[in-house]
Amino acid sequence: MSAPPKSRGPRPYARAHGPLRWLLVGLGVLLSVIAAIGAFLPVLPTTPFLLLAGACFARSSPRFHTRLKRTPIFGIYVEQWEHDHSVPAHAKRKAYGMSLLAFSYSVWVVDSTGLRALLVFVGLALAGFIAKLPTTEETDTGGEPGQELDRNDKASRD
């Protein structure tokens, strides 16, 4: 028996038709806008909305899906998720840091003990969600995130 492949590769999606297609296109656009806003607001996570938008477009509009994958900021994350269902380690570190800053500030500013407890709970839940996302480590190849260095190649470089 051979070992399973390391990467699952892009998964083909069944295309939606009729009203469901338009619903998915609209939802994909909305999720893309929320992801773009989340890129600037540290309290709003970007990655889940971005990945959901990609899934909506993959099922409804090849044109929008291709456009999302070609965006200079978000495209690499959608491509990587579709390729091996992982998130770059640097993106996870950034998400942890920005979330910690945003939730710490919010807890410090809020007067209500109940609201503080809710913020701590949501912050911990977000950290748990981020921790569960599969991670691709950066390599020393200088390549794109998601490109892995073969163990033999790395050993020969050391």
Q: Is the model's pLDDT at 2 over the cut of 70?
A: no
Task: Give 102-132 pLDDT, tens digit per residue.
Answer: 888 889 998 999 999 999 998 899 889 888 8
How many whole angstroms from its chain centre is CA 28? Answer: 14
Encode burial over 88-106: b for 16+ CB neighbours within 10 A, e otherwise. beebbeebeebbeebbeeb
The per-type count for the chain, helices as H runs and strands as E runs, is 7, 2
> Other CB atoms closer than 10 Å to residue 114's CB: what's the count?
8
| Phi (first) and psi of residue 3, to 5 degrees | -70, 150
DSSP tag of 146: T
- Domains of the chain, by residue range, sit at 11-85, 87-158
Range list of β-strands (E), 37-153? 87-88, 135-136
- 141 Cβ contact partners less than 8 Å away, ≥ 6 residues apart: 147, 149
DSSP tag of 149: -
Task: Give 47-90 pLDDT, tens digit per residue.
Answer: 788 888 888 988 898 888 888 888 887 888 888 888 888 888 88
pTM: 0.56
Confidence of residue 136 (pLDDT cuts 50, 70, 90): confident
Confidence of residue 36 (pLDDT cuts 50, 70, 90): confident
